[in-house]
Amino acid sequence: MTSTSLIGGHVSVAGGLATGGLAFMADIGAEMMQVFVTNPRSWALTAGKPDEDAKLAESGVESYIHLPYLVNFGSPSPETLANSVTLTRYTLQRAVETGAKGVVVHTGSAVTQPRDAAMAQLHEHLLPLLEEIPDGGPDLLLEPMAGQGAMLCATVQDLEPYLAALDWHPRAGVCFDTCHAFAAGHDLAAEGGVTETLDALHKIAPGRLKLVHANDSKDVCGSKKDRHEKIGQGHIGQAAFGELFRHHTLAGVPVCIETPGKPPEYRVDIQTLKDLRDAG
């Protein structure tokens, strides 16, 4: 694995997972990509196309799949829980077929039930899916949220009980979203704030950071609002992203933007991050 962080973005796959996705990736200057392989706001299991899957797998491009937003392993709804299991199992298999390195899942919410009951569901329903991942298959990347409502995991410290509920399974990795962490109360904009946060992450879950979502924030630190902004144009600020690349835990970890806008704006954000990375 290279020690340099690849920088890319979440890409459109209109025209085909590989045909459309790789073209979009090239257009925005990305070095890696994240995709949806199903409708992000639906439980539907969208069938893959073997030729597109093979083309992506053979491209050598580092790719990640983001699960739909509906998935919630902490839900008190039996239907939501069952659908979450089915869709996550399906998406992990799609990752095997396409050569994706990881599948990103939001860490979920207890909604209206006690937190302990929701955490028990992780052990009962999500842990078995980790056990099913084949050798050489993708990691499942846990993405802490912004802290709104009854979220099960928002701060870096929340990862400790979450991973414990999954028996610290070796296929459970972490996707660190800068906007979410800032909204949850980690002051990444303060001098040394990124270093302090990533030091804490490394202490709790050494070696588990597998992907970073680089997003500035439209809202202030601790807002518990998940509203992404273009790099350097929000309350986190450009300097924090430079500090991010200088942290030892970022060695070889890809960085993916999910910022608002269209391809011309994605190109600017990606180039900004490349400049910060290459400045050392």
Residue 228, marked binder: yes
The residue whose two tokens read 């069938």 is 47
Residue 177, marked binder: yes
Residue 53, marked binder: no
**How far is residue 87's CA from residue 42's CA, in Å, rounded to a whole number?**
10
Residue 125, marked binder: no
Provide φ and ψ at 120, rounded to 5°. -65, -35
**How far is residue 197's CA from residue 190's CA, in Å, rounded to a whole number?**
11
Degrees, nearest 5: CA angle 186-193-224:
20
**How far is residue 270's CA from residue 276's CA, in Å, rounded to a whole number?**
10
Say if residues 96 and 134 touch (Cβ distance below 8 Å): yes
Residue 106, marked binder: yes
**How far is residue 215's CA from residue 228's CA, in Å, rounded to a whole number?**
6
Residue 143, marked binder: yes
Binding residues for Zn(2+): 66, 106, 143, 177, 180, 213, 226, 228, 258
Binding residues: 66, 106, 143, 177, 180, 213, 226, 228, 258
